[in-house]
A and B are shown apart, each in its own frame.
Chain A
């Protein structure tokens, strides 16, 4: 269980995340939604210790993240940020191998190799596993990074805008993979996501943030409601049910 209690972060006197408390349910997909500058990514970075929090605490399995050994935490929780510029030349397989670092410290054994193979298969990267990352398209690269996180095999997987720059087909593929991670392997996935329709179709819980505060959290059904969305995005967002999914029609 991940518990966030009264977490805040300021940049230059401005509170980007302001006294946020929430709990993330195990074995579910939870999405953070909200307008630009709502503090979604910052909150996620604090939960995963990428940036230090100014106040509050983040408990993972009832232990404060500061109390965890970084190496142990890396077997429990993983995070992938949205921009992944790497200035060394790696093949897809090299990159996925890095996912095993918390377990193998760089010396992969048979078991590690098996996890790497599995992750590569999961993301359909078998045919391009020996290609260099800079030869791949944006979508393929994104899949390679997600494969690294899958190889890391952590209970909690945090992804900051995993659909950034992807076309519809790749977006759907990735969301389906995340759904499988949860349903088949029992992982807990937390997403920062901009497209509320993806959030609506694939997540179990949604946390809506605005100006660094949680506006409302609840099941997908409770959040994808015109009244809630109006409060979050300051605009009218009609919601229609299409094929059993709630779809927001906000384009016109």
Chain B
């Protein structure tokens, strides 16, 4: 089966699930149900794409299949930045400030941090992914601890402002940011287009990429910015889903069996959309909202993560 056929099959499943998701048990209240479910579906599409996209890019530039932006704590960082913004600006100024502006501000800070990350992770020679993994896990925990510490200090009234952001999920989509995020993801994809071919080469590793004439520093820095923006978008919309990226990226590597990033990213985004829409359908119809999608995704993804770690451990 060619990769084209596989992508069409994935697209078919995705469309089918989307239709089911929109129409199931509608009970005729279309004007109420369609916009509500539509918003959710767009959020799923955006988050799924953003996470799959950023994970594949990140794994290629770090040359590994275990680390993802979420696992090294980028989504915890986004939460921390949001909290810090609320904490520092606070009070009346905050009510004047739109959610969109705060979002843009946090994204800007994420980009700054991505550059720091570059210095830490890529400038040093002889890095090793277990080292990165360790640093990432420590940072992730550190970020979430600082976040919750700051939240304890924040005035309860101000806390309400970030609370909805902290507990965003697929059942509580941050829909104010939906359109801005949509534009954001599209701009990133557009910007990314001319880098696709470089990523194919970067997958060979740094030395080969440099040998083949890639300006390594230039490309990797820009790719980290892409990753930072995409992670901000997905976290802002539905909150952190740590292991989704790991799951969908690896499933698509296995399924598509190519090194071409155009195909890989498209495939991973479709797998991601299918997993989220399908998962959400099960949550809503089978579990009747008694659990949340991130719990299930993290459970499956976490088990898979341990499996990957054990497997890699053997081969090295």
Interface residues, chain A, CB within 8 Å of chain B?
Answer: 48-51, 70-75, 78-81, 84-90, 94, 98-99, 101-102, 105-106, 152
Contacts and interface: CB of A to CB of B under 8 A. Distances in A.
B212 A101 contact: yes
A70 B207 contact: no
Given A71-B213, A71-B215, A74-B213, 19 more contacts: A48-B210, A50-B210, A50-B211, A70-B213, A70-B216, A72-B213, A73-B213, A84-B205, A86-B203, A86-B205, A86-B208, A87-B63, A87-B203, A98-B208, A101-B197, A101-B201, A105-B197, A152-B211, A152-B212
A98 B125 contact: no
B307 interface: no
Nearest to A79: B211
B89 interface: no
Contact of A102 (B204, B205, B213): B213
A34 B125 CA distance: 23
Contacts, number: 62
A49 B208 contact: no
B65 interface: yes
Given A89-B259, A106-B197, A70 B214 contact: yes
B260 to A, nearest CB: 9
B284 interface: no
Contacts of A105: 197
20 contacts: A48-B211, A50-B210, A51-B125, A70-B215, A72-B213, A73-B213, A80-B211, A81-B207, A84-B205, A85-B205, A86-B203, A88-B204, A89-B257, A89-B259, A94-B259, A98-B201, A101-B201, A101-B213, A106-B197, A152-B211
B88 to A, nearest CB: 38
Interface of B: 63-65, 125, 197, 200-201, 203-208, 210-216, 257, 259
Contacts of B208: 84, 86, 98
Nearest to A149: B211
A85 B125 CA distance: 17
A88 to B, nearest CB: 5
B6 to A, nearest CB: 15
Nearest to B204: A86
A78 B211 contact: yes
Contact of B210 (A70, A75, A90): A70
Contacts of B206: 50
What is the predominant secondary structure among interface residues of chain A facing chain B? loop
A73 B149 CA distance: 52
Contacts of A81: 207
A191 to B, nearest CB: 16
A80 B211 CA distance: 8
A144 B271 CA distance: 33
A99 B63 CA distance: 19
A50 B213 contact: no
A47 B64 CA distance: 28
Contacts of B211: 48, 50, 74, 78-80, 152
Given A51-B125, A88-B203, A105-B197, A74 B257 contact: no
A98 B212 contact: yes
Contacts of A88: 203-204, 259
B259 A90 contact: yes
B212 A74 contact: yes
Nearest to B264: A88
A9 to B, nearest CB: 10
A165 B213 CA distance: 28
Contacts of B210: 48-50, 70
Nearest to B259: A88
Nearest to B213: A74
A49 to B, nearest CB: 6
Contacts of B64: 87
Nearest to B257: A89
Given A51-B125, A87-B65, A90-B259, A106 B200 contact: yes
A49 B63 CA distance: 20
Contacts of A94: 259
Contacts of B65: 87
A78 B209 CA distance: 11
Contact of A79 (B204, B207, B215): B207
Contacts of B216: 70
